[in-house]
Amino acid sequence: MKRISDTKRASIEVAKEDREAFALEFDRCWICNSPAEFASLPHATHEIVHGVNRNAGYAHRVAWLRLCAVCHANVHESWSLVEQYALKAMRDPEHYDRVELNRMRVRADDSVSEIEVVQAAASVLDKVWKRTR
């Protein structure tokens, strides 16, 4: 089993209650709409911010998506970062902040532009539609 760093462990502890509340608020997968209570595998909170900056996103709702296990794996395999931003904007608009996501990734404020996110929304809708057919 992979060892969790002390930094990650601290992030987990700080965010535990917020992440649990987020999971209760969004009890269905944002892509396929499967309910968490009937899932054979548990739903997961995916962090848009990943790699060396993942801990920055772990404790901040602005970086979270709620997905079933199948869609979570699919996002890791085939979704672009901009598509993930678009899904966040569509499913949790009150907590969508493109500039903050860019900053968490230690990028310029416009490294992912709002125009790119809006354009990616069409791709996201297509993927959601295909997954729910």
pTM above 0.75, yes or no: yes
Provide the residue range defining the domain that includes 52: 6-132
Give the three-class secondary structure for 64. strand
Asked whether residue 1 is assigned to any structural domain, the reply reads: no
For residue range 56-115, what is the model confidence (pLDDT) as tens digits?
Answer: 888 999 999 999 999 999 999 999 999 999 999 999 999 999 999 999 999 999 999 999
Q: Does residue 104 sit within a domain?
A: yes
Residue 27 lies in a domain: yes
Question: Based on the structure, what is the number of domains in the chain?
Answer: 1
- What is the signed CA dihedral for 43, 15, 56, 66, rounded to 10 degrees? 20
